[in-house]
Structure 1
Amino acid sequence: MDERDLRQLGLLVRDELVRLPGVSEVELAGSRARELVIEVSPSQLQRYGLTLEEVQQAVRRVAVNQPVGVIQSASERLRLRVPNALQSLRDFSQIPLKNSADGGRLLLSDVATLRDGFSEEPLQAHFNGKPCVVVNVFQNGEENAISVVKQVRAALVTLRQRFPDSVTLDTWRDRSRIIKDRLNTLGKSAWQGGLLVMLLLALFLHPWVALWICVGIPVAFMGAVALMPVLGVTLNLFSVFAFILVLGIVVDDAIVTGENIYSRLKKSANGLTAAVRGTQEVALPVTFGILTTMMAFLPLMMIEGRRGQLYGQMSLVVIPLLLFSLIESKWILPAHLKHLKPRGGSGVLWRGQQFFSHGLERFIRRFYQPFLRVALRWRYTTLALFVGVAILISALVASGSLRFVFFPRVQSETAKASVIMPIGTPFSVTAKHVERLVETAKQLQARHVDPLSGQSVIRHILSIRGATGASRRGQSHLGRVTLELVSPDVRTLDISNLAPIDG
């Protein structure tokens, strides 16, 4: 299949995908731009008494997209243009240049030779060793990336049936996988954290206290999710990470309040009185504890530039979530715990629970309280000890022993190698070096095989000769090879340092 046919198939895919809801832009890359060449004959111009400027004006009158107006909304401004009706080589050849007195017409094809081809700048793309065009799909900022990807994949299944067997359609760098992985991590962390919290509280407190404290987790999460559209926050990597980050903090206030109410219930016969007084006793420290945590995340909203827009979303998730957690621990949790009746038991589970509960109390009486008394008695010594530790840690940072890395290196899903030759390097020389990189990538693909799945950790190899990115304009001195890797969450093979290939 030649370059023209391959580009036509790419345009067909682009036109089908751009109609999907939620898709804002579809870009064709890795293929040279179409170009119509008009070679005007000087002798023919002299024969018919025309100038080159007159030919240019005649072509410009009918072959230029005409602006017709503007559509403006509160968030964007769209310029409307009417494309010219000339699409094929025959259409351009029929452009009239001059009318004669006898009714004849002089056409562009009478004075020029027209050739339909591609731009002269070389540009080639290969996917897994085969010529290709790359179709980049961009979602609308307000749409769900996961649902958009599902629609795109469904459309590709339909398109495959229309293509010949010699043509393959494959997906490349599906960014929605990262969001789905984070959502799965959030789900696992939520139920695992909730289960651990409930088990620990059930060991040292009453099981029903543990249950009602855990109920506060989904309540606070739902409150934060309900406010996300109001605050302009979407479900993305940063907002999902904020949910994961705050999962262990959200129950702190409920644990303190619930434990204090339960202690009151064991000493009081009136559940309402125990709930009210138990909540009031710890209301001030718990409230200020939550407020200080909220204030710690507030500076993220003050970061300027693009990074501030990203990190600020974390604050807009954490702060409302902690606020709902505080409300739940002060109003909803006491209303449930006032009905709780501390009761004894004689079963195995009850004896096991009492063993851990009494064991914690014994540890507090025998070890923690004596240690606390000593620390308070020798308060200046304790203060000096903590100041000394702070100075030691500061010295480690100042001396460079504790390195600072703004973004730590993590295993990625892609690996790139760019070729940048001196400007003016022939395309054949650059293509030769890119081909060497491709051969090296194939050797790495064969060498690095996951022992569990039996599949290579390198899924696809995309090479571009004439550019270092998704460009439609070629430059003979540039090239790039990109490897798509299996997700780090799935692969068991560490490829942070790929072994070099000899030679």
Structure 2
Amino acid sequence: MQAIIDAAVARSRPVLLILALVLISGSVAYVTIPKEADPDVAIPIIYVLVPHDGISAQDAERLLVRPMEKELRNVEGLKEMRASAREGQATITLEFEAGFDSDQALNDVRKRVDIAKHELPDDSEEPTVNEVNVALFPVILVTLSGDIDERILVRRARDLRDKLEGLPGILEVDIAGDREDLMEVIINPVRLQGFNQSPETLLQFIDRNNKLVAAGAMDTGHGRFSVKVPGLFENVGDVLSLPIKVSGDKVVTFEDVAIAHRTFKDANGFARVNGRPAIALEVTKRIGTNIIDTIEEVRALVAEEQRNWPDSIQVTFSQDKSRQIRDMLNDLQNNVLAAVLLVMIVVVAALGLRAAGLVGVSIPGSFLAGILVLAFAGLTINIVVLFALIMAVGMLVDGTIVVVELADRKMAEGLPRKEAYAAAAKRMAWPITAATATTLAAFMPLLFWPGIVGEFMKYLPITLIATLTASLFMALVFVPTLGSIVGRRAPDGVENAANLAAAEDGDLDSITGFTGAYVMVLRLAVTHPLKLVLLAMAL
């Protein structure tokens, strides 16, 4: 360490260029690094959802759960599998060990589901495979409400969803309170019986006609063109005009025996705002994108779309996670500024203005260097990182203050400032390193904390290690180098000079002021150690 300090002080220009580069790069990293509410922690749970409209819980267990369990039990790394069946669907939950490879696990589960779905009933819907990730929770809720026709509200919500999903930072948008479109056909049994038809016959007509028929291509000798046979129902009129029977000269159609209209499926849930019907859009951002910028883009797009909507549609935003991150960033900036200001006030009173400036540089320098390390490591600023940065504010300046104070003492003894700062840094190198190491040792075990909590909390020791290590280099390398150029001994008063002389090789009883009071208390404590220990235990 002493060789490093000597080399840094002797070659001040490259060292100061490195310091400037760290400060500039750290500032850029602080502005550009992604900021999100929760860490990117993949919870080791994957669940498979198998919908089947109208199936009972007992049949769902027999027809949906068992084929899936048979295949999914062979997934590599599986810790536990649980399944539940209820009316209309079945859910299979797979739990893996913490720290698992989520991408590999998702691929394995999807392959097994593709194999198992061939054993499911033909009218079962496509199974979906979903992962649980804290960073994939919705970051904002956009709610559309108003006294307006439900179909208009749903259409506006779906259009808004499509445009929101077009934003680069948005992963997906789920709609809550939306109902699937449905065409309802009500058969008149009397008229149906009069035409000697049965409901089963009508269902067969619909099933046979609502198909896409691939008719291939026709070659006329002069060219080749594709043949398309329209067969899919696109609106209510297509169903009502479907012929079901010829009676004499009359063609009997669906319109003669039934009525049809567009509607929605029965609601599984409801969304309300102040008692009025509402549609909620749950917006999920992509992992690693800046939550503040993303939500600002969402709000701007919604405001732009709202200009084209009826005045009766009201838009409300809720569960905005960017507010919490913005508040914590403001708290961090305020804490850093307050720490710099208070430290400089104390150091100015004790050592002078230039020494205070040297100490003040170490706080933002350590922070920016730590954030630069986080950016290089591909991490983001989240709640845990911000908590660690705020907690580190009071730990960054201890080493720097000790070095600057000792250098000031050496200059008072007559050493040139370059030699004084080099001697101070070398003298305090191992004590400062040991103090920093003991602090880091207290947080190091958090890196090996197992389970989901460990994955969540690992950002705390990583941030503290990066920041406190940067503060060590600031105290032993950058500040002594800067001080060897701009440092100046603080003017000593007569009383201060006498106290320094007495502290070095004089009579400690002659020390006055606050230091003298401290010497008296210390002498009393050393003289009566047992009483001091008992007092400490009592407190």
Structure 1-normalised TM-score? 0.61
Distance in 1, Cα, partners of 2:343 & 2:176: 51
Q: Is the 8 A contact 1:186 1:240 kept in 2?
A: yes
RMSD of aligned Cα (Å): 4.0
1:57 Cα deviation after fit: 6.5
1:216 aligns with 2:362: yes
Match of 2:433 among 269, 272, 287: 287
Q: Is the 8 A contact 1:89 1:115 kept in 2?
A: no
Task: Report what 1:342 is aligned to.
Answer: 489
Q: Contact conserved, 1:253 with 1:326, CA < 8 A, in 2?
A: yes
Distance 1:9 1:388, change over 3 A: same
Deviations 1:34-53 (A, max 9, x none): 33446789969985997799
Partners of 1:279 and 1:186 in 2: how far apart? 29
In structure 1, distance between residues paired with 2:431 and 2:353: 25
Cα deviation, 1:187-230, whole Å, max 9, x if unaligned, reads 11111211111011100112111101110112111111111133
Q: Deviations over 1:380-426 (max 9, x none)?
A: 4433443444xxxxxxxxxxxxxxxxxxxxxxxxxxxxxxxxxxxxx
Partner in structure 1 of residue 91 of structure 2: none
For the 8 Å contact 2:408–2:490, the answer to whether it is kept is: no
- The answer to whether 1:270 aligns with 2:420 is no
User: Kindly tell me: are residues 49 and 161 of structure 1, through their superposed partners in 2, closer, same or farther at Cα, counting changes over 3 Å?
Assistant: closer
Code of the aligned partner of 1:219: G
Query: 3-state DSSP class of the match of 1:171?
Result: strand
Partner residue, 2:528? 378
1:34 to 142, 165, 181: 181
Question: What pairs up with 1:176-255 in 2 under 5 angstroms?
Answer: 176-255=322-401
Indicate the residue corresponding to 1:453 in structure 2: none
Quote the sequence identity (%): 25
Per the alignment, residue 517 of structure 2 pairs with 367
* Alpha-carbon separation, structure 1, partners of 2:299 and 2:239: 41
Amino acid at match of 1:253: G
1:148 correspondence with 2:301: no
Distance 1:91 1:250, change over 3 A: farther
User: Which SS does the other structure have where 2:379 is aligned?
Assistant: coil
Alignment of 1:69-80 (within 5 A): none
Q: Shift of residue 325 of structure 1?
A: 0.5
Displacement of 1:56: 8.6
* 1:132 maps to which of 266, 278, 291: 278
- Tell me if the contact between 2:351 and 2:490 (Cα under 8 Å) persists in the aligned partners: no
What residue in structure 1 maps to residue 265 of structure 2? 119
The 8 Å contact of residues 407 and 417 in structure 2, kept in 1 or not, is answered as: no
Once residues 99 and 365 of structure 1 are traced to their aligned partners in structure 2, the CA distance between those partners, rounded to angstroms, is 110
| Counterpart contact for 2:177–2:279, Cα < 8 Å | yes
Could you tell me which residue of structure 1 aligns to residue 311 of structure 2? Answer: 165
Task: Quote the residue 2:169 is aligned against.
Answer: 22
What do the CA deviations read for 1:264-292 (whole angstroms, capped 9, x no partner)? 12113222332222122222221111112
Of the three residues 145, 152, 155, the one matched with 1:5 is 152
Q: Which amino acid aligns with 1:336?
A: L
Deviation at 1:233, TM superposition (A): 2.1
Label 1:381 to 1:332 Cα distance change in 2 as closer, same or farther (>3 A). same
Shift of 1:13: 1.4
1:115 to 1:297, Cα distance in 2 relative to 1, 3 A: farther
Letter in 2 for 1:237: I
Taking the TM superposition and a 5 Å limit, the aligned residue runs for 1:429-440 are none
For the residues of structure 1 that align with 2:255 and 2:376, how far apart are their CA atoms? Answer: 61
1:141-182 superposed Cα distances (whole Å, 9 cap, x missing partner): 211111111111111121112112222223223221111111
Aligned length in residues: 359
| 2:245–2:253 Cα contact (<8 Å) kept | no
Structure 2 counterpart of 1:324, from 470, 479, 492: 470
Instruction: Give the 3-state SS of the residue equivalent to 2:263 in structure 1.
Output: strand
Give the whole-Å Cα distance in 1 for the aligned partners of 2:339 and 2:331.
11
Separation in 1 of the partners of 2:252 and 2:467?
Answer: 75
**Aligned 8 A contact 1:58 1:96 in 2:** no
SS of the residue 1:338 aligns to: helix
* More moved, 323-332 vs 266-275: 266-275
Q: Distance in 2 between matches of 1:130 and 1:47?
A: 44
Change in 2 beyond 3 A, CA 1:364/1:179: same
Question: Could you tell me how far apart the structure 2 residues matched to 1:27 and 1:10 are?
Answer: 10
Instruction: Please state how far the C-alpha of 1:131 moved relative to its aligned partner.
Output: 2.6
Question: Gaps spanning 5+ residues in structure 1: where?
Answer: 64-84, 390-503
Counterpart Cα distance in 2 of 1:357 and 1:26: 69
Q: Is the 8 A contact 2:417 2:484 kept in 1?
A: yes
Residue matched to 1:438: none
In 2, Cα distance between equivalents of 1:34 and 1:287? 68
Q: 1:283 to 1:40 in 2, by over 3 A?
A: farther
Q: Distance in 1 between matches of 2:451 and 2:233?
A: 43
